[in-house]
Amino acid sequence: MAERPEDLNLPNAVITRIIKEALPDGVNISKEARSAISRAASVFVLYATSCANNFAMKGKRKTLNASDVLSAMEEMEFQRFVTPLKEALEAYRREQKGKKEASEQKKKDKDKKDFEEQDKSREEEDEDEERLDEEEQNEEEEVDN
C-alpha cells in the first residue's frame, strides 16, 4: 500500500485534463479547487475499489473484475453511472478485440511473407545449383574433347 497519503492522489496532469474537458472554454479553476477535486476523486476511487474488493471477496476471488466495479457502483448508489460504464466497457472490449485481431493478422502476414521469402531463397539456391551443375558438365565435356 502507499507510504504517505499523498501517494494515493491521482496524477495532477490527469485531473487537470479531466477538469478542462468538463468545463466550458474560457472557464478557469483555481489551484485550491483543482487540489480539492483531486483529493475527492482519489477518495472516490479508493472507496469504489474497497466496495468492489468486497464483492470479489464474497466471490472468493483476489482479482477485481468489471462486474465487481459495476456492483460496487450500485451499492454506492451511483446507479446512473452503471449504464455509461457498461457502454464504455463494451467499447473498450471491442477496441481490444480489434487490436488483437489486427495483431494476429499482422503476424499471419509476416509469417506468410517470411515463408515466401524462404521459398524464393530456396528457388534461387536451386537455380544456382543447376547452373553450377551445368558449368561442371560443360567443363567435363571440354576436358573430354
Q: CB neighbours (10 Å) of residue 77?
A: 7
Query: Has residue 76 got a pLDDT over 90?
Result: yes
Query: Has residue 5 got a pLDDT over 70?
Result: no
- Nearest C-alpha neighbor of 90 from the set 72, 66, 64: 66
Whether the CB-CB separation of 55 and 72 falls below 8 Å is answered with yes
Task: Report the distance separating Cα 95 and Cα 20, nearest Å.
Answer: 25
Task: Report the distance separating Cα 28 and Cα 119, nearest Å.
Answer: 64
Q: Is the pTM of this model over 0.75?
A: no
Domain boundaries, the chain: 1-77, 80-145
| Per-residue pLDDT reduced to its tens digit, 106-144 | 888 887 777 777 777 787 787 878 888 777 777 777 776
| Per-residue pLDDT reduced to its tens digit, 15-74 | 999 999 999 999 999 999 998 999 899 889 999 999 999 999 999 999 999 999 999 999
Query: Has residue 145 got a pLDDT over 80?
Result: no
| Per-residue pLDDT reduced to its tens digit, 88-97 | 999 999 999 9
Q: Which amino acid is at 71?
A: S
- Nearest C-alpha neighbor of 81 from the set 69, 96, 90: 69
Instruction: Give the rounded distance of the alpha carbon of 130 from its chain centre.
Output: 51
Task: Report the distance separating Cα 33 and Cα 20, nearest Å.
Answer: 13
H/E stretch holding 139 reads helix 82-144
Higher pLDDT, 116 or 76: 76
Which architecture does CATH list for 1-77?
A: Orthogonal Bundle (1.10)
